[in-house]
Structure 1
């Protein structure tokens, strides 16, 4: 019997190799220049990280939602997680209402019908993660670009709001979504 230490056989890591083709994504503050700010559903959505930044794994959007604002009931085949940074937001999930205030985190499972609405008298600010990515592309296709995160949405006539609603319904399936 030998006293010499034995070396363990080399094993391969269960974690894939680093992809040096992917870069670190550093995003400035949402009120900085150089980001894409979109007026949609009565609020301003700032695209922080896209699927291009995350290899399609997720997107990150800051949402500034005015009192009474928020999207109509819908569902989609991806997870959607919200972190309420400021304000109070009422989530309707499968027909039941839940209120989430500052500091709350809400996860909406894929395929579940839901909506949210700012029920407070002040603007709400949310971070929204969609996994996998793709929802940010729908926002970009539907929304009106604005200069800054704190820009007011452009005023829309009833006809323009109806046109945007029709466009959203027409594009929804392309972005794995539907309105319910």
Structure 2
């Protein structure tokens, strides 16, 4: 027995996916297709990190699950720092400062799922809060010692 065909509105085509270049070798690819509507209570996508890059310490207003799709990551979640490799996942509670860095020599890709639709990001260093994937939600760079310490 074969599976029913996927309705066209459920298909994500590469030319329909917007990419957010966060700078310095980090690109976010949100999977927000026609299926991802108000009734769908998750926001999902991938972020690709070049070697030596990371996203600054930040928190969200909703919980987040992160799967390392490829490569090697260092995760800082609250006061804990640990390493993850492809196939390993972690969970970040809402409001907890965290960041991920590529600790390997090759590309690192994480798959993320937020437990909500109206996601905000608060940058730990500045306290600024803005809508996830908005024009202000940019910026990444080389991993900094303050990120690895898990403190602002």
**Common fold by TM > 0.5:** yes
Structure 1: give runs of 5+ residues left out of the alignment.
1-22, 145-163, 166-178
Partner of 1:44: 27
2: CA distance, partners of 1:50 / 1:109: 25
Contact residue 41 and residue 71 of structure 1 kept, 8 A: no
Please give the secondary structure, in 1, of the residue aligned with 2:133: helix
The equivalent residue for 2:10 is 25
Residue 142 of structure 1: SS of its match in structure 2?
coil
| Structure 1 length-normalised TM | 0.59
More helix by share: 1
Q: What is the TM-score with the length of structure 2 in the denominator?
A: 0.69
Task: Indicate if the aligned counterparts of 1:41 and 1:70 stay in contact, CA closer than 8 A.
Answer: no
Which of structures 1 and 2 has the bigger CA Rg? 1
Partner residue, 1:91: 75
Q: Choose from 125, 130, 136 the match for 1:142.
A: 136
SS of equivalent residue, structure 1 residue 33? helix
SS class of match (1:128) = strand
Match for residue 17 of structure 2 among 20, 30, 35: 35
User: 5+ residue gaps in structure 2?
Assistant: 1-7, 121-130, 141-150
Q: Which structure shows the bigger proportion of residues in strand conformation?
A: 2
Q: How many residues align?
A: 123
